[in-house]
Amino acid sequence: MELLASRLTQYFLQREYITSEQVQWFQYGLVRRMMGFVTFVILLFPGTLMVGFPGAFLYVFVFRFLRTRAGGYHAKTSGGCFLASFTTMVIALSFAGLVTSHWVSSAVLAVSAFLIFCLAPANNANLHLSAEELAAIRPRLLVRLLAVVLLGCLLFPLDFPLANCVSFSVGAVAAMLLVSHWGFGVQ
């Protein structure tokens, strides 16, 4: 992926879409987005086997949508990050497939949203966010959290299995925040 990102960066530099000062940031951003896309697609396969494509897509989308602002557990390597995401997804979707009570799923959504509200955004040694940066991220996170909670609430009467996927995806983000808060991951 880094080779492809490097070639794309050189292409954009030659076409003068970016300047030489932007090369490192552009290439870094490309690698992150490419890895995010590949991870998204790879996680869809086991999720689809567990809850079907719509549920897997919704789970991974909500998880990534919140995680990008909330933070949480961060592994030292991209392989460790993928393993943590994969394990979390398998556990969360296993529970989502087992839960048949609207009350339980609603409680998971509410408690998880509350934990995210209280603990996020998380900082770590790789991010080095300042207090000002953390304060700037928080309002965006809260808007995303509100949107996801509203989506979950709208799905409860329409499609309970999808609502479960949203609830347990929010629960997975909350779990990652708790693990980080307890001192695990890159600190």
Q: Alpha-carbon distance 48 to 55, whole Å?
A: 7
List the chain domain ranges.
Answer: 44-181
Residue 155 is encoded by which pair of tokens?
């799905």
Residues 146-157 have a mean pLDDT of 97
Rg (CA), the chain: 18
Q: Which of 65-74, 101-110, 174-183 has the highest mean pLDDT?
A: 101-110
At residue 59, does pLDDT exceed 60? yes
Q: What is the pTM of this model?
A: 0.85
At residue 187, does pLDDT exceed 50? no
Q: Alpha-carbon distance 125 to 67, whole Å?
A: 16
Show Cβ contacts of residue 184 under 8 Å, excluding neighbours closer than 6 positions.
73
At residue 170, does pLDDT exceed 50? yes
CB atoms closer than 10 angstroms to residue 179: 17
